[in-house]
Amino acid sequence: MLENILLVVSILLIAIVLLQGNKATDSAGFITGGNQELFQNLKERGAELFISRMTLILGVLFFLISFIIFLS
């Protein structure tokens, strides 16, 4: 039973991570000297905030279910 739930959570976690925006290209400007956005306050809003929170929730669920399976 828990293995099936873990499988579903794993697939959802992979899908939600793939939906996230690529923040690596945004921060690459810091290395190359493009620092015009260095001190800008960038907040997540709307769908980006939902995806970020869902990733956190699914990650915690994955960890907890894996830990419970390991202990049993």
pLDDT tens, position by position, for the chain (72 residues)? Answer: 999 999 999 999 999 999 987 665 555 555 665 555 555 666 778 888 999 999 999 999 999 999 999 998
Q: How many domains does the chain have?
A: 1
C-alpha dist (Å) from residue 31 to 28, 38, 40, 49: 6, 11, 16, 26
The pTM for the full model equals 0.72
45 touches 51 (CB < 8 A): no
Range of 17's domain? 2-71
